[in-house]
């Protein structure tokens, strides 16, 4: 796993889970991964929403949370673990489809809640899991492939354990869509 200090980046990420950073064992386990973790964890400067807003790479996520009226929820006590798609992840969705999603509050809420797990789930725990139930109600599958954590077979975790006062954020490179019921 590539290590780098996320500093200000940690203030931008959007996840909440308790903020426990990955330990050295987890970092060693994922050494060959493109996943990044903080080498020297900084004290969380804000809640999940504040952390995401400060990062600068989660503007679409922030707009979606506002449109779905979920800002206050993710500013709550938690703890939450947020699987936070970057602006680049949202850009992979065709523009017309993204705009339709942003305009449909019910569907948008389902998609966003599918990115949130109750509790603090640090990277060291994620790598031992095969799935996690989201606040949307359905599970996200978790696998480690070639040293990388992959969610639902198509979204890579690119940064882990971004601490917030009410949880932890794991950054992902694709928006997760809940499976059809």
DSSP for the chain reads -EE---HHHHTT----S--PPP-HHHHHHTTTSS-EE-SSPPPP-S-HHHHHHHHSS-HHHHHHHHHTT-HHHHTSS--EEEEEE-HHHHHTS-HHHHHHHHH-HHHHHHHHHTTEEES---HHHHTT-SEEE-TTSSEEEEEEETTEEEETTTEEEEEEEEEETTEEEEEESS---PPP-
Q: What is this structure's pTM?
A: 0.75
* Res. 5: pLDDT tops 80: no
Q: How far apart are the first and last CA of the chain?
A: 35
Q: Nearest Cα to 170, choosing from 180, 69, 132?
A: 132
For residues 1-15, average pLDDT: 30
Record the tokens describing residue 112, joined without a space: 């966003």
CATH of 2-172, one of 3.40.50.2000, 1.10.3720.10, 2.40.30.200, 2.30.180.10: 2.30.180.10
Residues 6+ apart with CB under 8 A from 90: 60, 61, 64, 98, 175
User: How do beta strands 116-118 and 80-85 pair?
Assistant: antiparallel
> pLDDT value at position 52?
80
With beta carbons less than 8 A apart as the criterion, state whether 149 and 157 touch. yes
> pLDDT value at position 54?
82
User: How do beta strands 36-37 and 2-3 pair?
Assistant: parallel
Count how many residues are written for the chain: 181
For residues 43-69, average pLDDT: 86
* Res. 99: pLDDT tops 80: yes
> pLDDT value at position 172?
95
With beta carbons less than 8 A apart as the criterion, state whether 111 and 140 touch. no
Record the tokens describing residue 99, joined without a space: 């705009």
């Amino acid at each position: 796993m590539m290590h780098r200090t996320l500093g200000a980046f940690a203030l931008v990420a959007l996840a909440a889970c308790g903020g426990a950073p990955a330990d050295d064992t987890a970092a060693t386990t994922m050494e060959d991964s493109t996943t990044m973790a903080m080498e020297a964890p900084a004290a969380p400067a804000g809640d999940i929403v504040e952390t995401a807003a400060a990062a600068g790479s989660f503007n679409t996520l922030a707009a979606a949370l506002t449109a779905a009226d979920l800002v206050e929820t993710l500013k709550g006590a938690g703890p939450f673990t947020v699987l936070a798609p970057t602006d680049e992840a949202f850009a992979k969705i065709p523009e017309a489809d993204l705009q339709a999603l942003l305009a449909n509050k019910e569907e948008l809420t389902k998609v966003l809640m599918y990115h949130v797990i109750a509790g603090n789930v640090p990277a060291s725990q994620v790598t031992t899991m095969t799935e996690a139930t989201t606040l949307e109600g359905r599970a996200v599958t978790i696998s480690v492939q070639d040293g990388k954590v992959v969610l639902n077979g198509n979204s890579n975790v690119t940064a882990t354990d971004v601490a917030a006062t009410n949880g932890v954020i794991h950054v992902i490179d694709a928006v997760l869509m809940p499976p059809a019921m």
